Structure 1
Amino acid sequence: MASEADGAMRGRGFRACVLAWALLCAGPAFAAETRMPPGLTGEWGGARGLLHELGVALQVRYVTELAYNARGGKGHALRQAGQLNVGLGLDLEKLAGLKGGTFQFTFTHRNGNNLNADMALGNLQLVQEVYGRGNVGRLTQLWYDQVFWGGRVHLKLGRVTMGEDSADFPCDFQNLTFCGAQPGNIVGNYWFNWPVSQWGTRLRVDVAKVAYVQLAAYEVNPRNLEEAFYLGRFSGATGVMLPLELGWNPKFRGGRLEGLYKLGAWYDTSNAPDVLLQDVEHEGRYGLYLVARQQLTHVAGAENVAQGLNLFVRLAHPDRNTSTQDGQYTVGLGYTGVLGRADDDVGFALGTTRSNGRYVHAQRLKRAQDPSTPVPRSEYLGELYYSLHATPWLVLRPNFQYIRPGGDVTARDILILGLKGALTL
């Protein structure tokens, strides 16, 4: 879902897209300043609209992802994974006169099964991005955000997820390769995306109308991965994650074609073992990322201002000393306004996740001693989806994934038939 950094995209087109992402993404819930689309339960006799006017946004959404492996793995199977989000957003300016203050609470509960593991697909990235981090309830957000100096400075602190502010990206696709903050897809052992939260803070400064600089600090604590509900861990931290991000939000052709470009780097102060050399430990681990999204065409007079063709490009590079995967690249196209339906969209993306050659060499050495040891390689895949906005509160998104798996060189190519859906209550 659209997150805080997406708030930098102030154009009408991207704001319309945000409402679409809200229904399908497994990521952050909306804060109080953004009203959710009408839910299945309606306006509650006008109470929902009244609460919003008072600065209170109640958010309840269920996301489900079905995946069937028509080819690959040890046989055919259908698996479902899902997530329930329950959120409360407060606009404290409306509620208490605290100008620029926002509070967000979000509880998540994940459930279901992982097709990757159940059918031994041998791939690096999940075919159901909503799966992971345990079938448990978690406190995913508990933060306060304050805006200063005419809206130019944004300070946020509390229990946060790294990917909601740094390298954030919506989850339109079902394969994890194309979903969420990319660093968390390849160095998930210390960059924790949704729904795992940690103590953190983020300072963003809008240096111009179309640019910002952002620095964040997050606790790196492996205990946050424990499969249990908790308010916060106060021991066990190994270091601090420090992502720095520069953003540019240009608008071309009179503001009709909007983009968002993010260039970032991260450094984690934790010590980490070398992926190849035994008994060698490194002080710190790091990486770079790029996220680029641009609307390419605009349909004049369209019912939905977001109608048109959009392009995205992403890449992430962690250091080769400590990461088993040393790069991920994705590119994709989307078109909103398909078959005469203003909100329906279609998307296609290609991506690769590179296995670190140093780690591959280490696995080959182990395989010489134990023939059952899998040897990884680079993973390549494509995904195509069609998004049917059946109602304002129900979205159905059938998808097709073709994957050359990278977790094991002996694994067969994979064909996945998927269905992603979301229901807003």
Structure 2
Amino acid sequence: MNALNINSSKKIASFSFLLAIISSGVYANEPWSQDRQWLFGDWGGTRSHLEEQGYKFNLSWMNQTATLIDGGKTDSHPTRNADQLTLGANFDLNKIANWENTTAAFTITKRGGDNIANDIGMKGSPTEIYGRGTIWRLTQAWIKTGFIDNALQVKIGRMGMAEDFNSSQCEFQSLILCGGQIGKAQGDVWYNGPVSGWAANVKYTIAPEWTIGAGIYENNPENTEEKKNLNFNLSTNEAKGTLIPVEIAWKTTRVNQLSGEYKLGGFWSTEDYQAVDGSGKQQPKSGLWLNAQQQLTSKVDNSRQGLYTAINLTFNNDTTASISSTQQIALWYKGALNSRPMDQIGFGLGRYKFNDKVASNSDRDDEVDAELNYTYNYSPAVMIRPNIQYVYQPYGLKSIDNAWVAGVSVKLNF
């Protein structure tokens, strides 16, 4: 057994031991009690007091482990871990400085680990937390303020694009089933967190249920590089124009009086890029998306429990994108067990459709990733999500065996 697998086994054993302790009930009403908001506690009441004054702090750690059970490019069964440490703070500047309708955020992140997708040979990844380098990054440094009774909101600073456009739920460990989808297909220009860039956006509530938004985002490849970001790259010297997203959102309770949100949007780049077919033609990068999330059922005694669904579709410019489109559909049920009201079970499917205009794609079709999971929310401070994943046609190639992957996500809020 190599050193990586030894370390992976130690981590899995540690998580199992943790689960055994917190499930035993020995520490009821103590640091491991099920109403514990943070593992480090309330700092003797100081933390709650600071939140009341407008200062909210976040220290969290996420680890995702995946084991290749069968298939992929290898006959072995490797286990890989990916993790992320997040340190952040949010500021309510109305409370702090009497700046009405104004908030700010500052977050840094550190990712680490390895990607089992390399062993499988797939486009997606069974560990969505992996990617963009194993370094510290400045992920958020922005301020947002409201005008016209807060109907018009303006945000400026450092941010990722999916914070405000093409955003979606993340209830899974598989990459394509988690968060904004445009970055999965056109990640060479659309940077989701933890990558950030200089940006500004505005959103305007034109009616109680309707909001429109637009933004301008620095398109700077330097922001993705590890060497530059070891010192938190703030330079715009290597920026290649900007990306301009627009989106209209509809929030409604018209389906069984349950909450839903539907978004239609698109983006384009101000710079031209080479065509993927090798013709030498140049066009801007662009794409469209449709996001829909809807609660379908609810329980009488708790309206937040019940069945939820999300559908996310993207359509990319075939001239400049190697992925023509992506589709994602997911279902999750909150409070499936009466004895575990905070837990949920989820199932999702995601598809990458490869662009047949790419010369190297002559034998490629599509890749479909599926996941079934159970989310064990022991407390607001401890989440454990075992899952099983299936990868059909990794990288769209019939020459790579379909793969089965066993995974587990652990998130701790300190």
Deviations 1:273-304 (A, max 9, x none): 111124x14131111000000011111122xx
1:320-335 → structure 2 map (5 Å cutoff): 320-335=318-333
Deviations 1:249-287 (A, max 9, x none): 0013674x0000000011111221111124x14131111
1:249-328 → structure 2 map (5 Å cutoff): 249-252=251-254, 255=257, 257-278=258-279, 280-302=280-302, 305-328=303-326
Matches of 2:64 and 2:297 in 1, distance apart?
A: 30
What one-letter code is carried by the residue in structure 2 that aligns with 1:295?
Answer: Q
Q: In the alignment, what sits opposite 1:395?
A: 383
Secondary structure of residue in 2 paired with 1:52: helix
1:141-220 → structure 2 map (5 Å cutoff): 141-220=140-219
Aligned-pair distance for 1:405?
A: 3.2
* 311-320 vs 222-231, greater mean Cα deviation: 222-231
Deviations 1:33-71 (A, max 9, x none): xxx981101111000100000000010000110000101
Q: In the alignment, what sits opposite 1:57?
A: 56
- Which aligned runs of 4 or more in structure 1 are off by greater than 6 angstroms? none
Q: In the alignment, what sits opposite 1:87?
A: 88
What one-letter code is carried by the residue in structure 1 that aligns with 2:269?
Answer: D
1:225-264 → structure 2 map (5 Å cutoff): 225-227=224-226, 228-229=229-230, 230-252=232-254, 255=257, 257-264=258-265
Q: Contact 2:205–2:212 (CA<8 Å) still a contact in 1?
A: yes
Structure 1 residues 40 and 315 mapped into 2: Cα distance closer, same or farther (>3 Å)?
Answer: same
Structure 1 residues 39 and 265 mapped into 2: Cα distance closer, same or farther (>3 Å)?
Answer: same
Deviations 1:378-413 (A, max 9, x none): 001211110001122000000111111342431110
Matches of 1:338 and 1:253 in 2, distance apart?
A: 21
Secondary structure of residue in 1 paired with 2:117: helix
What one-letter code is carried by the residue in structure 1 that aligns with 2:268?
Answer: Y
Aligned-pair distance for 1:133?
A: 0.5
Matches of 1:269 and 1:283 in 2, distance apart?
A: 10
Aligned-pair distance for 1:363?
A: 4.6
Q: Contact 1:404–1:414 (CA<8 Å) still a contact in 2?
A: yes
Q: In the alignment, what sits opposite 1:138?
A: 137
Q: In the alignment, what sits opposite 2:408?
A: 419
Matches of 1:323 and 1:283 in 2, distance apart?
A: 10
Q: Contact 1:377–1:406 (CA<8 Å) still a contact in 2?
A: no
Matches of 1:130 and 1:124 in 2, distance apart?
A: 15
Q: Percent identity?
A: 32
Matches of 2:298 and 2:256 in 1, distance apart?
A: 11
Aligned-pair distance for 1:178?
A: 0.8
What one-letter code is carried by the residue in structure 1 that aligns with 2:385?
Answer: R
Q: Contact 1:83–1:130 (CA<8 Å) still a contact in 2?
A: yes
Aligned residues: 373
Deviations 1:131-180 (A, max 9, x none): 00000000000000001111211100000100111001122111111112
Q: Contact 1:271–1:281 (CA<8 Å) still a contact in 2?
A: no
TM-score by length of 2: 0.88
Matched, 1:42 2:31: no
Matches of 1:171 and 1:299 in 2, distance apart?
A: 22
Matches of 2:164 and 2:84 in 1, distance apart?
A: 21
Aligned-pair distance for 1:209?
A: 0.9
Matches of 2:114 and 2:383 in 1, distance apart?
A: 22
Aligned-pair distance for 1:214?
A: 0.5
Q: Contact 1:154–1:203 (CA<8 Å) still a contact in 2?
A: yes
Secondary structure of residue in 2 paired with 1:343: coil
Q: Contact 2:142–2:157 (CA<8 Å) still a contact in 1?
A: yes
TM-score by length of 1: 0.85
What one-letter code is carried by the residue in structure 2 that aligns with 1:411?
Answer: I
Deviations 1:325-363 (A, max 9, x none): 11000111111012112211111111211000111x345
Secondary structure of residue in 2 paired with 1:190: coil
Aligned-pair distance for 1:202?
A: 1.1
Q: Contact 2:218–2:239 (CA<8 Å) still a contact in 1?
A: yes
Secondary structure of residue in 1 paired with 2:373: strand
Matches of 2:256 and 2:177 in 1, distance apart?
A: 30
Matches of 2:44 and 2:233 in 1, distance apart?
A: 34
Q: Report the RMSD for the aligned CA atoms in angstroms.
A: 1.5
What one-letter code is carried by the residue in structure 1 that aligns with 2:287?
Answer: G
Aligned-pair distance for 1:72?
A: 1.8
* 414-423 vs 375-384, greater mean Cα deviation: 375-384
Q: In the alignment, what sits opposite 1:405?
A: 393
Q: In the alignment, what sits opposite 2:6?
A: none
Q: In the alignment, what sits opposite 1:355?
A: 354
Which runs of 5 or more residues in structure 1 are unaligned?
Answer: 1-35, 365-374
Q: In the alignment, what sits opposite 1:107?
A: 108
Which runs of 5 or more residues in structure 2 are unaligned?
Answer: 1-34
